[in-house]
Amino acid sequence: MSGDATWSATVSADPEQACPIAPVVDIVFSRWTTPILWSLNEYGRQRFVELERRISTITPKVLTQRLRQLERDGLVVRTYHPEVPPRVEYEISDLGRSLAPLFAALADWAGANMGKVEEAREEYDAEDRRPRRA
């Protein structure tokens, strides 16, 4: 990585503060955040039920929790329309959209390296890992 100096520039005695990207990873890469943000970025403004259909393996409870957290973090905007029946829509915010280069870089890395990761896993799994006696 070209930013090796950046990695070591922030040194802290507190292990939770030692890595400057840890808070970002906690926000952006929690279990359902990336599929939600991807869906909102890809398909635009959506109602809850549309998100639920697109991310079919998420439960309504978890989707509600994640959307609230993403709204709290400023990555998603919730718009309430006082109609009968009421309508609520979600869309990715400008702050959420600013993550696009990060996700693009990760997609590039995945395309270039996931095959190598799979090979490494297969090699690891194939090895005899029982402790050997001298």
Percent of the chain with pLDDT over 90: 63
pLDDT digits (tens, 9 = 90+) for 51-101: 999 999 999 999 999 999 999 999 999 999 999 999 999 999 999 999 989
Question: Residue 6 and residue 53: Cα distance in Å, rounded?
Answer: 41
CA neighbor of 30 nearest in space, from 61, 57, 62: 62
Residue 129 per-residue DSSP state: -
What confidence score (pLDDT) does residue 127 get? 87
Q: What dihedral angle (degrees, nearest 10) is formed by the CA atoms of 56, 60, 61, 62?
A: 30
Lowest-confidence pick of 21-25, 87-91, 92-96, 104-108: 21-25
**In the chain, where the domains are located:** 10-97
pTM of the model: 0.74
pLDDT band at residue 30 using 50, 70 and 90 as cut-offs: confident
Tell me the two tokens of residue 127.
């090895």
Residue range 10-97 forms a domain whose CATH class is mainly alpha
Q: What is the 3-state secondary structure (H, E, C) of 106-124?
A: HHHHHHHHHHHHHHHHHHH
Q: Which long-range contacts (CB under 8 A, 24 or more apart) does 22-30 make?
A: 27/73, 27/75, 28/99, 28/102, 30/66, 30/69
